[in-house]
Chains A and B, each alone.
Chain A
């Protein structure tokens, strides 16, 4: 079992190798390689999780012969292992359920490049989750940015190219600000490894020296990662990006890549800035306000949208607002709620994107809301999966959405008095708005279409999607019903950051 601490290294290197090899393989072989890799990554990280749970503290894994002020390092703790296992699982299911529409829309000589890019996404997600080094994080943020632009623009039509230019500009501004922040921190302390940075930043903060640069560095890092993950005033790239991309890409971009950045931000907050400095400077209040604004603005924009893909994209903006609101609430219960919400969103949004993609495919590739009338009769399974995803987004009991809303409620009571009432009001408003736009869509989907004769897409003509959809539903129910043990893992793992 103790050998499993080597798995992250092997999986990262394996992802990089398989991305390089996939660029020479034909499409089908590249897909099989990718799926095998994600399955292996899930299994490996799960084994590691089971091993790490038996330990009392995190494991520092040296990347080379030099320990932490000098050489690169990974840090392994149960929360990280659980998240990377689940991220790999979602990536597996996205590719499994989304590869049919994907291969219809990409030029045949470029299809294998898609899997090159998703392998790189896998590598960078693993590193972002496990790294103990701020600069390694930056390098793999770059890989993540480039590969997410790749999976976006591989569908070469005008709208997608424009969307990816916009996404790239936003993303690069985000990386640039993050890099500024890292440089400032290095200049102030001379360290890049997280534990040493935390130590010297705490000393610096206590001594009161260089207060302004310290604050500037922290806010630049937060803003940079917030832009990349689409917090409220910077969420404008989302609708275009998720609306124009291939469904599998929208699922990966919304479910995994933005979550990877947010997980990395949480990690930076806890293990570089430290709870004390971050929450003493009032930066969390900024994230709280922006998050709460994002929830309301995202939901209202989703309500106004008549393109179903863009509607779900705006709903993503609202869900990301929840995560930032959780970070802003408190370092304990609020942070747990934020982490659980990351998981909820990573499990639900890809399922919704894939379901909508298959619904629209059964109804002659329409995207407009009013053309989708009765689409659930044409593709019953996708209709069911969409309805279930919508229930989870609204937060009905036994789904993950319920648990995360419950945790946000707890977090509100755990935080200061000034935040209690606004949080509860925002939760209520957003639940109502969520219900409005999802109920509207579900009713539209289950309205009998005007024509009586339609071709029904059966279960067996879309086997891989049905498998992925069932898996998404089961995982959702599993975490919705047995949430208590997972929350216990989060609560035990958070102090280890």
Chain B
């Protein structure tokens, strides 16, 4: 395997060695915690340092016995505290709780349809009344995807060898089922996204369905032809377009709202597919981001690349 000399002693390298079975992690850890005593002649300070490390290791092993007990006690105390607090809270599901009687809910339910044009009130709330939160939410997904890339992204040729071990190859039942199910799953996902403003559903759930379908196919066929459609390049372009269009559309809508201008997006006829202003395009953007992020996570975790 090609090796980067800088990475030779890194945590990942150790982990990979251990994964391949020619390295005992516990032994190495012990070796680090109890370093051999260096010669004393020239390295006085180093000797002191090593001595300190050994002492620290002893302390750690003492505290390690305490940790489970302390953790259990702490968690139990926290559970007790939260239970007591919850028992004092307004009862869940009653009609006269503050959440159910506040002006916020009344307007969402009473005027939601005519103000946002969405039959699905939830879609109206998350993509119109509180669209800024959802803008943040979709960027949380993007941030998480980039964080996983930072951690696990690898050069192309590095992991070819290991791919064969992890992917279920030549599993006839899985392959046939995946072939039959994939179009249905994708179609259902698209339906859930596109009708997000008309009924239960929306970008997050529809995107998750599509992502699940792609993961199923990728499991059965070891990426196969999917790699031609979704690779690193197209993945990035899809996410870029989805997030950019979301940000720009919503920026326009926020700007108009804040300055009291009319937008060109109208609520339309509630119930029609092209209605509810920006909710349909925003749902589509969110759905694309969610689907790509889910598939990207799976792909990065198993193969180290998309």
Point out residues on A near B: beta carbons under 8 Å: 5-6, 9-10, 13, 16-17, 19-21, 23-24, 61-66, 69-72, 107, 109-110, 113, 116-117, 120, 123, 127, 133, 135-136, 139-140, 142-143, 146-147, 149-150, 153-154, 156-158, 161-162, 180, 184, 186-192, 196, 200, 210, 212-213, 216, 370
Q: 8 Å CB contacts to A: which residues of B210-268?
A: 236-237, 239-240, 243-244, 247-248, 250-251, 253-259
User: Which residues from chain B sit less than 8 Å from chain A, CB to CB?
Assistant: 4, 7, 9-12, 14, 45, 81-82, 84-85, 88-90, 97-105, 107-108, 115, 128-133, 135-137, 139-140, 142-144, 146-147, 149-151, 153, 155, 236-237, 239-240, 243-244, 247-248, 250-251, 253-259
Cβ contacts under 8 Å, B243 to chain A: 16-17, 20
Q: How far is the CB of A221 from chain B (nearest CB, A)?
A: 13
What are the 9 closest A-B residue pairs judged by CB atoms, nearest first?
A190-B102, A158-B11, A139-B136, A72-B132, A65-B257, A63-B132, A190-B99, A146-B143, A13-B251
Q: Which residues of B contact A109 (CB under 8 A)?
A: 153, 155
Q: Which residues of A contact B115 (CB under 8 A)?
A: 66
Inter-subunit contact B10/A113 (CB<8 Å): no
**Chain B residues positioned under 8 Å from A196 (CB to CB):** 104
Give the residue name and chain of the A residue nearest to B259 (CB).
A6
Known: A64-B254, A153-B151, A212-B84. 8 other contacts (CB 8 A): A6-B259, A13-B251, A17-B247, A133-B132, A136-B133, A139-B133, A149-B147, A216-B85
- Name the B residues within 8 Å of A189 (CB-CB): 98, 102
Q: Which of B9, B147, B257 contacts A63 (CB 8 A)?
A: B257
Interface pair A210/B89, CB less than 8 Å apart:
yes
Q: List 5 A-B pairs, Cβ < 8 Å.
A: A6-B258, A24-B240, A62-B257, A190-B97, A190-B105
A16 cross-chain contacts in B, Cβ below 8 A:
135, 139, 243, 247
List the A side residues contacting B236 at CB < 8 Å.
23-24
Known A6-B258, A16-B247, A23-B146; judge A187-B136 contact (CB<8 A): no
A156 to B151, CA, bound (A): 8
Smallest CB separation, B256 vs chain A (Å): 8
Question: Quick one: given A64-B129, A139-B133, A143-B139, are A154 and B89 in contact (CB under 8 Å)?
Answer: no
| Measured CA separation A188–B89 after assembly (Å) | 7
Distance (Å) between the CB of A310 and the closest chain B CB? 14
Tell me, in angstroms, the Cα distance from A149 to B148 when the chains sit together: 10
Chain A residues near B81 (CB-CB < 8 A):
216
Q: How far is the CA of A200 from the CA of B102 in the complex (A)?
A: 10
**Residues of the B chain whose Cβ atoms lie less than 8 Å from the Cβ of A123:** 139
Chain B neighbourhood of A72, CB < 8 A: 129-133
Shortest distance in angstroms between A347's beta carbon and chain B's nearest beta carbon? 27
Known: A113-B146, A216-B85. A157 touches B10 (CB 8 A): yes
Q: What is the interface of chain A mostly: helix, strand, loop, or mixed? A: helix
- Decide: A139 near B140, CB < 8 A? Known: A16-B135, A64-B131, A156-B7: yes
Roughly how many angstroms separate A213 CA and B131 CA in the complex, as a whole number? Answer: 29
The answer to whether A157 touches B11, judged by C-beta atoms less than 8 angstroms apart, is: yes
Residue of A nearest to B254 (CB): A63
Do B258 and A61 touch across chains, with their CB atoms under 8 A apart?
Answer: yes
Bound together, the chains give a CA A133 to CA B129 distance in angstroms of: 12
B140 touching A190, Cβ below 8 Å: no
CA A150 to CA B151, docked complex, whole Å: 8
Inter-subunit contact B139/A191 (CB<8 Å): no
Q: Do the beta carbons of B254 and A143 come within 8 Å of each other?
A: no
CA distance A213 to B84 in the complex (A): 9
**Nearest-neighbor residue (CB-CB) of B52 within chain A:** A306
Cα distance A64–B104 in the bound complex, in angstroms: 16
* Min CB gap A124→B, angstroms: 8
Cβ contacts under 8 Å, B143 to chain A:
117, 120, 143, 146-147, 150
A139 to B138, CA, bound (A): 10
What are the residues of chain A within 8 A of B10 when measuring CB–CB? 156-158
Q: Does B99 contact A9, Cβ atoms closer than 8 Å?
A: no
> In the assembled complex, how far is the CB of residue B291 from the closest CB belonging to chain A, in whole angstroms?
17
- The reply to whether A20 and B133 form a contact with Cβ atoms under 8 Å apart is no
Cα A65 to Cα B146 with chains together (Å): 32
Least CB distance from A14 to B in Å reads 9
Query: How close is A69's CB to chain B, nearest CB, in angstroms?
Result: 5
B contact residues around A23 at 8 Å (CB)? 146, 236, 239-240
In-complex Cβ contact of A70 among B82, B107, B132, B140 (8 A)? B107
- A66 x B103 contact (CB < 8 A): no
Residue among B97, B251, B258 with the highest chain A CB neighbour number at 10 A: B258
- For the complex, what is the distance from the CA of A370 to the CA of B49, rounded to whole Å? 12
Contacts of B11 in A (CB 8 A): 157-158, 161-162
Nearest CB to that of B134 among chain A residues? A139
CB distance from B273 to the nearest CB of A (A): 23
Contact of B98 among A10, A66, A190 (CB under 8 A): A190
Q: Which residue of B lies closest to A114 (CB)?
A: B150
- B12 in contact with A136 (CB, 8 Å): no
Residues from chain A with a CB closer than 8 A to the CB of B104 are: 69-70, 190-192, 196
Q: Report whether A213 and B258 are in contact in the complex, using a CB–CB cutoff of 8 Å.
A: no
Bound form: Cα–Cα A262–B152 in Å: 32
Q: Are B247 and A66 in contact (CB under 8 A)?
A: no
C-alpha spacing A187/B93, complex, angstroms: 11
User: Given contacts A16-B247, A23-B236, is CB(A110)–CB(B85) below 8 Å?
Assistant: no
Residues in B neighbouring A139, C-beta threshold 8 A:
133, 136-137, 140
- Check B99–A64 contact: CB distance below 8 A: no
Report which residue of A135, A158, A200 has the largest number of chain B beta carbons within 10 angstroms of its beta carbon.
Answer: A158
* CB nearest to B240 among chain A residues: A20
A110, B150: Cβ atoms under 8 Å?
yes
Residue pair B146, A212 in contact (C-beta under 8 Å): no
Cα A19 to Cα B102 with chains together (Å): 38
